[in-house]
Structure 1
């Protein structure tokens, strides 16, 4: 018998993760927690340094030199690229663990359809990353040129714009999506 709670579990499991994790909810949560912490500890300081360098350099405050930031920019982009999805999956897996022995309740069908829409949008990787992929490619190519060129890359100064666009798109997508997931999960857990 397919109940609404089982349908919800199937919706959660349908989320396509960017990373392969071990089987079992507890092992997945443990591995994903470690992966999220490591990525956040690397990405967040790098992002802060890169953004502060971009914003402070025109004001004449040079804590770090933009010309020397190629590797740091590549690190910040690569480690922050999958970070939002790690948070989504961690939230969904913790919810799955809580509803594992739950039964149907009133209003679950509406919550399920809302969660399914959110996950369908997240699973459409091509649409989600259509603006980020070109930015990432430009940033990586020019970052590698900056790292390995003997003379400075004359176009490296213009890469500040794609870097800020990348961070802006990534952060805005996370800020718009995570609260929707969180609100849906809270409503479901409150009704249990």
Structure 2
């Protein structure tokens, strides 16, 4: 294995893990992350789906899922949706690590390693860098808890529909952009390693 591939492996290991311990061997981490990511994905889809459906059903005058009763689901869906992408990225990087192990350097790997380092630095600092997002999530959580704790109907709860939907939209757009960059970087390395 050459120096630049070793550097790439170190860059991959610099990703802060949310779901698995870095000291566990790679194959066990991949299995654990596959299971936990599937569980998180299913949970997020179900919870976020119920929240979105409550808004749709309200406009159709159906009493299946009511927005007024969705406070706890919103809190669970937000917490699940925030951590899901990092598990996905980590799983993708560990599979890539398995692929590049014992491969040789190639022309252009420096640039791809720098791009990967930028992506991982962004992922590691994402929640710290975006203080506004933390305030936004905290604001939603406070209103959800206030709504859950109030005996009477919370007059502000009806206005929470848009902020919650905007936050889901933000998370989806951020995931699509980051996943696209990471996938392109990984594909370029794996293609170049095979052809070198």
Q: TM-score, normalised by structure 2?
A: 0.90
**Match of residue 94 from structure 2:** 93
CA RMSD of aligned residues (A): 1.8
1:132, distance to aligned residue in structure 2 (A):
2.4
**Match of residue 19 from structure 2:** 19
Alignment partners' CA distance in 2, 1:54 and 1:135: 20
Secondary structure of the corresponding residue to residue 103 of structure 2: coil
**Match of residue 173 from structure 2:** 172
Measured against aligned partners, the alpha-carbon deviations of 1:26-71 in whole angstroms (never above 9, x if no partner) come to 1111111111111111111111121232244245455311111111
1:2, distance to aligned residue in structure 2 (A):
6.7
Secondary structure of the corresponding residue to residue 174 of structure 1: helix
1:130, distance to aligned residue in structure 2 (A):
2.3
1:14, distance to aligned residue in structure 2 (A):
0.8
Moved segments of 4+, more than 6 Å: none
Alignment partners' CA distance in 2, 1:131 and 1:2: 42
Contact 1:36 1:87 in 2 (8 A): yes
Secondary structure of the corresponding residue to residue 183 of structure 2: helix
Q: How many residue pairs align between the two structures? A: 191
Unaligned runs of 5+ in 2: none
Q: TM-score, normalised by structure 1?
A: 0.91
Unaligned runs of 5+ in 1: none
Contact 1:53 1:64 in 2 (8 A): yes
